[in-house]
Amino acid sequence: ALARLKADGIEVEACRYAPLGIRAKGRPFLAKHPLFLDGAIEVQDEGSQLLGHLLAPKRGEMVVDFCAGAGGKTLLLGALMRSTGRLYAFDVADKRLVKLKPRVARSGLSNVHPVLISGENDTKVKRLAGKIDRVLVDAPCSGLGTLRRNPDLKWRQTPATVAELTRKQADILAGAARLVKAGGRLVYATCSILNEENEAIVDAFLAAHPDFARLSAAEVLAKQDIAIEVGADLRLAPHTHGTDGFFAAVLERKK
């Protein structure tokens, strides 16, 4: 894809961190490019791609993208699974899942199952309790990690809206955790830079769920030959990594 885009006169280079990523200079219009129409490429922030590598799903596994939205990360997870196993894309908004379906069709993936849920306590969620190998929770958040693209966001968030979000995030994480089988992986992520939406949520969850333990995000990525300076959790920043601001913690249910 890199060579083809270059041949078509689009200025591109391999991403610094995401092994499957290509970074384009400027804002080329790719929606009509043959590679896009054939499902060979998708548009996604490099930070979002790294969330998929933290989950690191394998062929034939049962995987859930708990807050799938329009499915950018779902498509990456499906590709990492080589279109095998079962990948459930949960969301509470039908209008978002409707946008996912044509993207799945274009990608050629056959393992994606979009599922509309009413919330983390839906019976469609509960019936999968203890059966899932890997669960990604890209939680609804303040979005303050995307300020470089959405500078007006800071005027729309207040302490009250963030407090409401943190309650929701804690509930979603606890609900999603029920699905994870013994030895399975749970990744909690936001595109926020606020501690109360990130470390505070994970620390409170671990205090209430001693059957889960934190894994080192740096070690998980290093096993995939992704060299990036991060600590126990993944923290990305625009001025350091050239991505949106992201947080992610990797958790594992003890065997």
List the catalytic residues.
Answer: 191
Place of tokens 């979005």: 143
How many helices (DSSP H) and strands (DSSP E) are in the chain?
11, 10
| Residue 61, token pair as written in the block | 């596994």
3-state SS assignment for residue 195: helix
Whether 213 contacts 223, CB under 8 Å: no
| Residue 178, token pair as written in the block | 């029920």
In this structure, the number of other CB atoms found within 10 A of the CB of residue 238 comes to 17
Whether 106 contacts 40, CB under 8 Å: no
Distance CA 173, CA 94 (A): 21
Q: Which residues of 35-45 are buried (b: 16+ CB within 10 A; e: fewer)?
A: bbeebebbebb
User: Furthest-apart CA pair in the chain: how many Å?
Assistant: 54
3-state SS assignment for residue 6: helix
Nearby residues of 188 by Cβ (< 8 Å), 6 or more positions away: 137, 139, 173, 201, 202, 205, 248, 249, 251
Q: What are phi and psi of 56, to 5 degrees?
A: 50, 55
